[in-house]
Amino acid sequence: MTMMEECDFYICAVCFSVSEHPGTHHNREMVYCEQLPVGDERLKPVIDLEGALKTRAPRWFLEAVWDAAGMEYPADLQS
Ligand SMILES: [Zn+2]
């Protein structure tokens, strides 16, 4: 196992509890989160073209939650 893989974790989309191991929390599958490099765009919340904050959650979380729900990432939130 590499250092990168050891940094991966799972998060509950309901209460944001994190775990190093997959499982369920609040009767939902915990969302897998890969370690992102410092400064990665996905670490930031979604901001529109005018620089206004569209979400408070970082993009990696939104993408992970939508992916877990089997939904496409909404086009109007694409930066
Ligand atoms: Zn939970």
Say yes or no to pLDDT of 79 above 60: no
What is the 8-class DSSP label of residue 67? H
**Ligand 1 centroid – CA 61 distance (Å):** 14
pLDDT at 50: 84
Q: What is the rounded CA–CA span in Å between residue 67 and residue 41?
A: 18
Residue 12: what residue type? C
| CA angle (43 as vertex; 41, 46 as ends), nearest 5 | 70
Question: pLDDT for 3-28, tens place per residue?
Answer: 544 568 888 888 989 898 999 999 98
**Ligand 1 centroid – CA 10 distance (Å):** 11
Locate the domains of the chain by residue range.
9-71
**Ligand 1 centroid – CA 57 distance (Å):** 16
Question: pLDDT for 35-50, tens place per residue?
Answer: 788 888 888 888 888 8
